[in-house]
Amino acid sequence: MDYKITSRSVEDTMELAENIESEKFPGMIICLDGELGSGKTVFVKGFAKSLGLEENITSPTFNIVKEYNTGELPLYHMDVYRLEDGNDNIGLEDYFNAQGISIIEWSELIEDILPQERLDIKFKILDENTRIIKLTPHGQKYEDIVNYVI
């Protein structure tokens, strides 16, 4: 089942991320999709802030993965936009099986290697400030999280 939320500001998007973070668990997978500027990295910033990270969170476009290990749990922030052939066999699955939290921007590009259980979040731009955010949980843990935060 899909759930839709309207975000009318950066603060709304960050609040959603913080609410989802409050239900975190080791091995959590969050997949973010949407056009450039739709709020994916803003979401990660809100999640990271709530996780206790003080580092400046930026999209890891040229690194593919940025690891943050100073919060309550490790955060693996991925941006797979530049992967030409899907996962390019660079070991992303290792992160999915780790005890941290994986948040993947442009996850549709690696859909074939994503775990079955995960939370898909799609951002759609309506205007300069407004976004429709669609949450699609896969698995009971993620269904419970969405029901808690909606």
Strand runs (DSSP E) across the chain, as ranges?
Answer: 3-7, 29-34, 65-68, 75-79, 101-105, 118-125, 131-138
The parent domain of residue 138 ranges over 3-149
Does 89 or 114 have the greater pLDDT score? 114
Question: What CA–CA distance (Å, rounded) separates 33 from 112?
Answer: 15
Q: Is residue 74 scored above 60 in pLDDT?
A: yes
For residue range 10-56, list pLDDT tens digits in order. Answer: 999 999 999 999 999 999 999 999 999 999 999 999 999 999 998 88
Q: What's the rounded Cα separation, in Å, for the pair 1 and 34?
A: 19
What value does the mean pLDDT of the chain take?
A: 92
Is 61 exposed, middle or buried, given 0-12, 13-18 or 19+ CB atoms closer than 10 A? middle
CA distance 136 to 7: 16
Is 83 a residue whose pLDDT tops 90? no
Q: Is 56 helix (H, G, I), strand (E, B) or coil?
A: coil
The pLDDT of residue 86 is: 54
**Reported confidence tier of residue 82, pLDDT bands at 50, 70, 90:** confident
Domain count for the chain, please give it: 1
DSSP state of 86: T
- CB of 134 within 8 A of CB of 2? yes
User: What percentage of the chain has pLDDT greater than the value 70?
Assistant: 95
Mean pLDDT of 98-111: 94
Residue 59 CB neighbours (<10 A): 17
pLDDT at 106: 94
For residues 29 and 94, which has the higher predicted lDDT (pLDDT)?
29
CATH number where 64 lies: 3.40.50.300
User: What's the pLDDT score for residue 90?
Assistant: 73
Tell me what pLDDT residue 20 has: 97
